[in-house]
Every structure is written in structure tokens, then in C-alpha cells.
């Protein structure tokens, strides 16, 4: 069974930094591209970042480009999202998502980031 477990969320002041992690199990992590999707309180889903299976290609939405960095450690089956220069509008639940055949087939339970002073 595919499991994706996010961690690292919390309360951060504006301008601060934080790193999210996603521990993957139940599938060959190194064979799949992975993604981060976020959801602000009572809002819809926003796709923010992607990384291919061998970490040679990354993608960022304009809303996070230059501030967030996606990475992965295939030896640890873990996906990361390093976030800096955080803003109030980054407050959201962050989901780690596995993609297969251009579809998001598995989602983690999410981790909440709150950016507030």
C-alpha cells in the first residue's frame, strides 16, 4: 500500500524558513516524479512544485518560484520542500503527491504551515 507521510509544518513568522518532508513507502520511490500541492484554509487546491524521478528537473509555480526549493533523497525515500521568505499567503496545508501516468494517484495526509507573527 502506498503511504506518503508529510511532516515539518508549524508556525513560522513572516520572512522565516521551514523545511517540509514527505516519507514515502509502499512503492519504488525512485521511479516516480513527485509533487507538492497546497490548500489555503477554506480554499481550493494549488499545484506548486514538481521534481522528476532522478531530481534532474524541477518545476515551480510562479507563486513560490525563487523562494521554495523541492528536492528528494531516493536513498531515504523522502521528498523535501525547503521554504524561505515565507508570507502570510503561504499559510496552507501542504500535500505530498505521487504522480503516475500524468495523474495524481496518491496523496499524503498533509502538514499545516501557518505564517503569522
* Secondary-structure percent of the chain, ordered helix, strand, coil, rounded to 5: 5, 55, 40
Residue that the C-alpha cell 503561504 belongs to: 90
Query: Residues binding another protein: what is the number (CB under 8 A)?
Result: 18
CA distances from 30 to 33, 47, 111, 116 (A): 8, 21, 22, 35
103 binds another protein (CB under 8 A): yes
Nearer to another protein, 17 or 57 (CB): 57
Residue that the C-alpha cell 511532516 belongs to: 7
Cβ 85 to another protein, closest distance in Å?
Answer: 22
Question: Per-residue string for binding with another protein, 78-97, x by CB under 8 A?
Answer: -----------------x--
27 binds another protein (CB under 8 A): no
Largest CA distance in the chain: 41
Nearer to another protein, 30 or 39 (CB): 39
Nearer to another protein, 2 or 16 (CB): 2
Amino acid at each position: 500500500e502506498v503511504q506518503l507521510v508529510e511532516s515539518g509544518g508549524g508556525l513560522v513568522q513572516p520572512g522565516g524558513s521551514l523545511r517540509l518532508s514527505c516519507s514515502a513507502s509502499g512503492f519504488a520511490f525512485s521511479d516516480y516524479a513527485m509533487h507538492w500541492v497546497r490548500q489555503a484554509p477554506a480554499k481550493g487546491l494549488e499545484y506548486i512544485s514538481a521534481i522528476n524521478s532522478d531530481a534532474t528537473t524541477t518545476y515551480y509555480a510562479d507563486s513560490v518560484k525563487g523562494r521554495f526549493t523541492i528536492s528528494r533523497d531516493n536513498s531515504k525515500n523522502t521528498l523535501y520542500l525547503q521554504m524561505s521568505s515565507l508570507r502570510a499567503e503561504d499559510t496552507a496545508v501542504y500535500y505530498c503527491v505521487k504522480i503516475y501516468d500524468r495523474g495524481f494517484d496518491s496523496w499524503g495526509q498533509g502538514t499545516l504551515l501557518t505564517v503569522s507573527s
